[in-house]
Amino acid sequence: MRMLRWAVLILPIAVAALAVTGRQRTPVHVGSKTFTESVVLGEVLTQLAKHAGAGVTHVAQLGGTSILFQALVNGEIDMYVEYSGTIREEILAGRNLHDNDSIEATLAESGVRMSAPLGFNNTYAIGMLRPVAERFAVTRVSDLRARPSLRLAFSNEFIDRADGWPGLRDHYALPHADVRGIDHDLAYPALESRAIDVTDLYTTDAKILKFDLAVLDDDRHHFPRYDAVILFRSNLEDRWPAVTEAIKTLEGRISEQEMIAMNASVELDGFSESQAAAKFLAGELNVQADRQVSSVGADILKHTREHLRLVLLSLVAAVLLAIPLGIWASARPAAGHVILGVVGIVQTIPSLALLVMLMKPLSALGSAFPWLANVGVSGIGEAPAIVALFFYSLLPIVRNTCVGLQGVDPEIRESANAMGLPFRARLRLVDLPLAARSIIAGIKTAAVMNIGFATLGAIIGAGGYGQPILTGIRLNDFALILQGAGPAAVLAILAQIWFELVERAVVPRGLRLERS
């Protein structure tokens, strides 16, 4: 029994150490957004940087424009592909910048440089299923004014940005009031199933052909040009001049048809983003890049290691704080109301909102204290995910610790006091063993919740099982979604089984009698 108890206590530490060994630090970090084209272009930059001799990490599917640009400014990534219209209308909105010289000068104030255009314009467009457009006689965006009954849903970023729905609505005087946000990649199957009628498109998106969409004529010229450019940190040229020279070879080398072909090879033909990038580089720049494709087993092992790290580090930290808080809440009822109220409020914050809220303060900490940055504290990656999971773990552990201690029979406490046991000795020898079952139940609840919540960490580059889920949603690939969701469910079941063993090892046998 003693060996089992030690094994139960040491196992999380051993697994966490295993997770640490899987981390690699590299000198160059490439970012990309959550849509296929951005990930493909991120792979192009990654493979060019590797060809130039740098160690590179591609932080793929890292949310939207604001997340990527702030990560670039904060030094958490070194480069990513952006679009000129997005820079003018979103990143530098309100500056009235109309030429590249003024844009470059303004970006330089934030330590960012911009390449020349890569050669293609991927502007926004508005689209519908062709049969639906024909039935309602809609060929131009202005035709939507006469069709207020059509159901509009736009990508979550488009619906809030100035050059997106707000500007489009005002420019065309569109009357539609019930306009909803939707993930860009889910909008296509929503159109196909007739759940929505109109959505925003990217003009280089291969799914326009796949779903036979009618692209509406922007007859009042609302959308500006969105020429693809590379944004990179000003110090990259000093740190890695070979990388800077390599990525500049892309200027003017990617045509609109070549970009559509790369997107199609991923979304329609089943190639990976790295394969599509390698094929383009070999054909256009004669760069023989890495075409290696990892196995499903290797991918699952990698995501498992990342997921375990997120869950274990956040859970261990939460246990170390939540159990003392639960003891305090039990011993001091007035303080207990405040403690439970505070951790309860944290629990009500939506997980995505909390992840975004944590990015700026953690980034500031990493910038102010380099030793924190060296151990991984930054606005993207593991740090905000671990901190968010830590906050979500507090309530069930604090509450169950408090309830378990309050449920100890007063007569038992009186007997312990009569024997002269001081508070700490009574807590260790009497109260905590009697409350152990409730405390372990709280930790188990927090662990299972963390396993599910940790999948959202992929949105900010934390990896884990959320990575294949995001990719599967983007590519409409159910097998990829299962590659993340399946192991997450198995891990949750294993966690429950493991906590049953913890209970057997920690809770005295007399307190583990089956309840009638």
In Å, the largest CA–CA distance within the chain is 89
Spatial CA neighbour of 35 closest among 193, 203, 194, 191: 203
The C-alpha angle with vertex 402 and arms to 315 and 10, in degrees rounded to 5, equals 35
Q: Tokens 């196995």: give the residue.
A: 295
Tokens of 212: 């036979």
Helix (H, G, I), strand (E, B) or coil at 97: coil
- b/e code 262-282 from CB counts within 10 Å (16+ = b): bbbbbbeeebbbbbbbbbbbe
Contacts of 273 (CB under 8 A, 6+ apart): 36, 39, 40, 42, 43, 60, 266
Tokens of 506: 């920690």
Helix (H, G, I), strand (E, B) or coil at 29: strand
- pLDDT, tens digit, 9 for 90 and up, residues 214-260: 999 999 999 988 999 999 999 999 999 999 999 999 999 999 999 99
Proportion of the chain in helix, strand, coil states, percent, rounded to 5:
60, 10, 30
Residue 35, Ramachandran bin (φ over 0: left; ψ between -120 and 50: alpha; else beta): beta
Tokens of 112: 């960012």
Question: Counting every residue, how long is the chain?
Answer: 516
3-state helix/strand/coil string of 288-354:
CCCCCCCCHHHHHHHHHHHHHHHHHHHHHHHHHHHHHHHHHHHHCHHHHHHHHHHHHHHHHCCHHHH
Helix (H, G, I), strand (E, B) or coil at 272: coil
Task: Tell me how far apart the alpha carbons of residues 469 and 465 are, in angstroms, rounded to a whole number.
Answer: 7
Amino acid of residue 444: K
Q: Quick one: what percent of the chain has pLDDT higher than 90?
A: 60
- pLDDT, tens digit, 9 for 90 and up, residues 396-440: 999 999 999 888 888 887 787 778 778 778 877 888 888 888 999
Task: Tell me how far apart the alpha carbons of residues 292 and 275 are, in angstroms, rounded to a whole number.
Answer: 8
Tokens of 236: 């990259």
Q: Tokens 């940790």: give the residue.
A: 454
Task: Tell me how far apart the alpha carbons of residues 51 and 287 are, in angstroms, rounded to a whole number.
Answer: 8
Amino acid of residue 340: L
Task: Tell me how far apart the alpha carbons of residues 79 and 33 are, in angstroms, rounded to a whole number.
Answer: 12
Q: Model's pTM, two decimal places?
A: 0.82
Tokens of 253: 């080398």
Q: How many helices (H) and strands (E) does the chain have?
A: 23, 10
What are the structural domains, with CATH classification, of the chain? 26-120+226-284 (3.40.190.10), 124-215 (3.40.190.120), 296-512 (1.10.3720.10)
Can you give the pLDDT of all 516 residues of the chain as single tens digits?
444 444 444 444 444 444 444 444 568 999 999 899 999 999 999 999 999 999 999 999 988 898 999 999 999 999 999 999 899 888 998 787 777 788 999 999 999 999 999 999 999 999 999 999 999 999 999 999 999 999 999 998 899 888 899 999 999 999 998 899 998 888 999 999 999 999 999 999 998 988 899 999 999 999 988 999 999 999 999 999 999 999 999 999 999 999 999 999 999 998 999 999 999 999 988 888 766 667 888 899 999 999 999 999 999 999 999 999 999 999 888 988 999 999 999 889 988 889 888 888 888 888 888 887 777 788 888 889 999 999 999 999 999 999 998 888 888 877 877 787 787 788 778 888 888 889 999 999 999 999 999 999 998 889 999 999 999 988 888 899 999 999 999 999 999 999 988 888 777 666 655 444
DSSP string, 189-240: HHHHTTS-SBEEEETT-THHHHTTEEEPB-TT--S---BEEEEEETTHHHH-
Give Cα 127 to chain centroid, integer Å. Answer: 27
Tokens of 126: 């508005």
CA dihedral for 61, 63, 69, 71, sign (positive or negative): negative
Task: Tell me how far apart the alpha carbons of residues 207 and 101 are, in angstroms, rounded to a whole number.
Answer: 35
Gap between the terminal Cα atoms of the chain: 26
